[in-house]
A and B are shown apart, each in its own frame.
Chain A
Amino acid sequence: MSDKLYIIPNPPTPNKAVEFNPDICIGCNLCVNVCPTDVMMPNPQKGKQPIVVYPEECWYCAGCVEECPYPGAITMLHPTQQRISVNWKRKETGKYFRLGMKNPPPPNTRPPSG
């Protein structure tokens, strides 16, 4: 390990609220502009993904995700304390699942009504 270490405050809780995929995000900042609580700021480097500055002010409406023109560029992440609570059991097999598990089952691809 040769990375330089800094004096830095603890990561906030929750850590992220949203996560960017830098391979898809083009840094258009539409998500930044629409966020009701201004959780993110534009990256100083143009074309790069925004920076999540105030994750504890996020209320998880995912308006940023809906606003994003590039699917997969931004993902909303429930705080771990919420993800760990979302559990379900397959009726036929009795198998347990939870949101965020290591080897998740295949996605249910049925879109919502409408």
Chain B
Amino acid sequence: MSTWHEYMQATGRLPAWPYPVNYDKVNEITIDVLIIGGGVAGMRAAISAAREGVKVAVAERGHAKRSGAGGAGVDHWHGAVTNPCSRVTPEDYTLGCYESMQGWTGGNVRYIITKESWDTLLECEKMGVQIRDEKDEFKGADFRDEKTKLMFAYDYQNKHIIRVWGHDIKVKIYEEARRIGVDIYNRMMVTSLLNEGGRQGGRIIGATAVNTRTGEFYVFRSKATVIATGGAGRLTLFAPELTASAAMADMNSAGVGQAIGWNAGAEFVCMEASGPGRLTGLAYAPYSMGNASNTYHGTPIVDADGKEVPWVDPFGRELNTVEARFIPQEGQQFQLGIGIGISRTNKEFALNDITPDLPKRIENGEFKLPLYADLTRLPEHERRVIFGMMVGNEGKTRIPIYDTMTRAGFDPDKDMLQAPVMPLDGYFNSNYWSGAPNTPSVVRMLGGGGFLVDWELKTNLEGLYVGAGGTLYGGGCHGESHTTGRYAGRHAAEYAKTAREPVADNQQINAERTLAYTAVKQDKGGNGWKEINAAIARIMRDYCGRHKNETTLNLGLRLLNELKTTELASAYASNPHELGRLLECHALISVGELVIKSSLERKASNSILDFHRLDYPEIDPPEWNKLLPIRQQDNKVEVRELPLDYHLRTPYAASYEENYERYA
């Protein structure tokens, strides 16, 4: 007996809610630094702040031991350019990222990452994470440095991406945070940031939250706050029955950090950016099927008759050896890995891959479906490092893939793993399990926008810092989240040491409290959270999809507001769990408003942001080559203009290095 249904069938009795519930209880917590979001970024922020000697609390939506998009493991660590084997400088790596995005990424954030990524990883090692081939399992392999025993991924020549045995990385940093006295509050659905004097745009002095097991209310009072939350994965597609098992972020990804930041007056850029929903959609279980991308980079792909599909370099030149797949080719300085939020790489920094004309060649009959990943064709070290090491440590792979598949008899030494059979355009990119064409084209995911921060990773609001992956403009992947979290936590602590005592506005707290509990105190006939979430996603798909204009965007805003004042206002939650999910719907609506209002301000189409306005069809007009930071002041939208290279202009110094020296 495992499920609620089985329990009901066996006993005929509804099980009572197992936790003591008290919707009227208010808990007050006073600390120096509050971290919102206890994933890898938040826990690293907490650890670095606590090491500065200040009192730190983490408010986490799930349970911080294993939660967050990075909580399920990691197998490779990007941007470790200061490691002793690296042949890439922080300046070169930052420029590679910046130029690959044609300027549409936060150069300051990228540079901070490259300067501190390796140090951040070394700290993981001290916490007990394995980052070296200590048992000499891969002695003599091309990707291993014999002296340091470090192992590298993607670009074996330049050695800036490190393979790590990170399946338990979250547990290790959680234990370290506990050890040094960080207070962790789990099951916290954060509902708002508190502004000094209750004024939008004022200094941030804490947050309010609801415990999703007990229903109790929490008021955190802090001198500084770090937002370290994830993305808004439920914003344009909500069908967890089909998609949760394929998603790279869990159900808690409701954009809560962006929502509370937006409502408090924080500034955002590029929230209008989006792309087709490759990984949010109807994909296959991550890493469970034949492919040649990311963790499986370098894997041979063969057709149904065993004929091998060629690997090519970014310029289309065929690669004739396995070794060539892992080194830059003529015309390239170094190669950037996948997953760091650099999606439209220049050929100069792009990876070697399976030939992109494969869809046409399948159609012409040259290759016959289904395709297979044939790891047996690789030398033993390569095969073992891909399936035994990386697929044993990447997020959602240790138990879900390695353990499950080997128990079922899969043996990479003998077996070929089938790729999905899907419409041919899905074979354009070798990350086949992401099942791109199975996701309807109306589904889009947010693409690279986030909080705008300065060289201290501070927002426009006094006391508010950001350390995260997708929530931060310029943020990236797993390692980037650790690194920015660690940096933001340090700076938040420095600020908190001399900051004045926070004075909260009781009116703001009481208003948040009333709003938070409406759904448990009204008619039981109201809508549930899933119905509301699906409606939000419908509005975003229809009115803020690939094709939009001023009118559809305004209609979308109107409908979000409609929903807020009708179905959502009368919604019912029968327990604290449902209440938490319903409060996430409020957050999703705020993020939706932020996205639509950002979209209204950009009166031009943009290829890098994958942003298309029917009423402004000209792509990339040069006069719109600028950021449009957006925020709310007195509930009115305020927009300004900012050059893409703002991070190297006044008030900052003109070079990356000078700024880092000045602010780090």
Which residues of A does B touch, CB under 8 Å?
Answer: 3-4, 6, 8, 11-16, 18-20, 22, 33-38, 41-44, 49, 51-63, 65-67, 76, 78-79, 81-82, 85-92, 97, 99-101, 104-110, 112-114
* A36 and B63 alpha carbons, distance in the complex (Å): 5
Q: When the two chains form the complex, which single residue of B167, B405, B414 contacts A99, counting CB atoms closer than 8 Å?
A: B405
B416 touches A89 (CB 8 A): yes
Interface centre among A15, A34, A52, A60 (most CB of B within 10 A): A60
Interface centre among A6, A88, A108 (most CB of B within 10 A): A88
Contact with A along B432-449 (1 / 0, CB 8 A): 000000000000000000
* A8 and B13 alpha carbons, distance in the complex (Å): 12
A36 touches B3 (CB 8 A): no
Q: When the two chains form the complex, which single residue of B62, B245, B247, B395 contacts A78, counting CB atoms closer than 8 Å?
A: B245
Are A78 and B285 CB-contacts (below 8 A) given A38-B213, A97-B408?
A: yes
The residue in chain B whose Cβ has the minimal distance to the Cβ of A52 is B3
Task: Report 16 cross-chain contacts, Cβ distance below 8 Å, ordered by A residue.
Answer: A11-B3, A38-B187, A61-B396, A62-B72, A63-B72, A65-B399, A66-B398, A76-B400, A82-B284, A87-B417, A90-B415, A97-B408, A109-B406, A112-B398, A113-B165, A113-B389
B406 touches A91 (CB 8 A): no
* A104 and B165 alpha carbons, distance in the complex (Å): 29
Known contacts A37-B62, A63-B71, A79-B245, then 16 further A-B pairs from the complex at CB < 8 Å, ordered by chain A residue: A15-B5, A38-B62, A54-B577, A59-B251, A60-B245, A60-B400, A61-B66, A61-B72, A78-B404, A85-B285, A88-B372, A97-B415, A104-B408, A107-B407, A109-B406, A112-B391
The residue in chain A whose Cβ has the minimal distance to the Cβ of B395 is A61
B2 touches A16 (CB 8 A): yes
Interface centre among A11, A59, A105 (most CB of B within 10 A): A59
Residues of chain A with a CB closer than 8 A to B408's CB: 97, 99-101, 104-105, 107
Which one of B236-244, B453-461, B484-492, B649-657 is at the interface? B236-244
Residues of chain A with a CB closer than 8 A to B213's CB: 38
* A13 and B289 alpha carbons, distance in the complex (Å): 22
Closest 10 CB pairs of A and B: A112-B392, A36-B62, A105-B409, A62-B399, A63-B66, A36-B67, A113-B389, A59-B250, A61-B72, A13-B241
Q: Does B315 contact A (CB under 8 A)?
A: no
A87 touches B418 (CB 8 A): yes
B393 touches A57 (CB 8 A): no
Q: Does B641 contact A (CB under 8 A)?
A: no
Q: Does B130 contact A (CB under 8 A)?
A: yes
Are A8 and B385 CB-contacts (below 8 A) given A36-B71, A91-B374, A108-B409?
A: no
A107 touches B250 (CB 8 A): no
* A108 and B385 alpha carbons, distance in the complex (Å): 17
Residues of chain A with a CB closer than 8 A to B68's CB: 36
* A90 and B86 alpha carbons, distance in the complex (Å): 39
Residues of chain B with a CB closer than 8 A to A8's CB: 5, 8-9
* A60 and B118 alpha carbons, distance in the complex (Å): 30
Residues of chain B with a CB closer than 8 A to A58's CB: 244-245
A34 touches B63 (CB 8 A): yes
Residues of chain A with a CB closer than 8 A to B374's CB: 91
Q: When the two chains form the complex, which single residue of A42, A59, A88 contacts B416, counting CB atoms closer than 8 Å?
A: A88
Residues of chain A with a CB closer than 8 A to B376's CB: 91
The residue in chain A whose Cβ has the minimal distance to the Cβ of B165 is A114
Interface centre among A76, A87, A97 (most CB of B within 10 A): A87
Residues of chain A with a CB closer than 8 A to B225's CB: none
* A112 and B249 alpha carbons, distance in the complex (Å): 24
Residues facing A in B40-56 (CB within 8 A) are none
Are A59 and B288 CB-contacts (below 8 A) given A52-B2, A85-B420, A114-B392?
A: no
The residue in chain B whose Cβ has the minimal distance to the Cβ of A8 is B8
B62 touches A85 (CB 8 A): no
A89 touches B409 (CB 8 A): no
Whole-angstrom distance between the Cβ of A36 and the nearest chain B Cβ: 3
The residue in chain B whose Cβ has the minimal distance to the Cβ of A92 is B414
Q: When the two chains form the complex, which single residue of A44, A60, A76, A81 contacts B242, counting CB atoms closer than 8 Å?
A: A81
Whole-angstrom distance between the Cβ of A55 and the nearest chain B Cβ: 7
Are A108 and B410 CB-contacts (below 8 A) given A42-B18, A59-B250?
A: yes
A38 touches B240 (CB 8 A): no
A34 touches B400 (CB 8 A): no
Residues of chain B with a CB closer than 8 A to A42's CB: 18
Q: Does B191 contact A (CB under 8 A)?
A: no
B389 touches A112 (CB 8 A): yes
Q: Does B311 contact A (CB under 8 A)?
A: no
B2 touches A20 (CB 8 A): yes
Q: When the two chains form the complex, which single residue of A15, A97, A107, A112 contacts B388, counting CB atoms closer than 8 Å?
A: A112
Whole-angstrom distance between the Cβ of A61 and the nearest chain B Cβ: 4
Residues of chain A with a CB closer than 8 A to B415's CB: 88-91, 97
Q: Does B212 contact A (CB under 8 A)?
A: yes
Whole-angstrom distance between the Cβ of A70 and the nearest chain B Cβ: 15
B400 touches A61 (CB 8 A): yes
Residues of chain B with a CB closer than 8 A to A107's CB: 406-409
Residues of chain B with a CB closer than 8 A to A6's CB: 8-9, 12
Are A44 and B15 CB-contacts (below 8 A) given A16-B2, A99-B404?
A: yes
The residue in chain A whose Cβ has the minimal distance to the Cβ of B62 is A36
Whole-angstrom distance between the Cβ of A25 and the nearest chain B Cβ: 9
Residues of chain B with a CB closer than 8 A to A37's CB: 62, 250-252
Contact with A along B129-148 (1 / 0, CB 8 A): 01000010100000000000
Residues facing A in B476-498 (CB within 8 A) are none
Q: Does B511 contact A (CB under 8 A)?
A: no
Q: Does B620 contact A (CB under 8 A)?
A: no
Whole-angstrom distance between the Cβ of A39 and the nearest chain B Cβ: 9
Q: Does B7 contact A (CB under 8 A)?
A: yes
Q: Does B76 contact A (CB under 8 A)?
A: no
The residue in chain A whose Cβ has the minimal distance to the Cβ of B7 is A51
B241 touches A108 (CB 8 A): no
* A55 and B66 alpha carbons, distance in the complex (Å): 18
Q: When the two chains form the complex, which single residue of B285, B405, B577 contacts A38, counting CB atoms closer than 8 Å?
A: B577
Residues of chain B with a CB closer than 8 A to A108's CB: 406-407, 409-411
* A41 and B108 alpha carbons, distance in the complex (Å): 44
Q: Does B221 contact A (CB under 8 A)?
A: no
Residues of chain B with a CB closer than 8 A to A16's CB: 2-3
Interface centre among A56, A67, A86, A101 (most CB of B within 10 A): A86
Q: When the two chains form the complex, which single residue of B4, B63, B251, B384 contacts A113, counting CB atoms closer than 8 Å?
A: B384
Residues facing A in B1-39 (CB within 8 A) are 1-5, 7-9, 12, 15-16, 18
Residues of chain A with a CB closer than 8 A to B245's CB: 14, 58-60, 78-79, 81-82
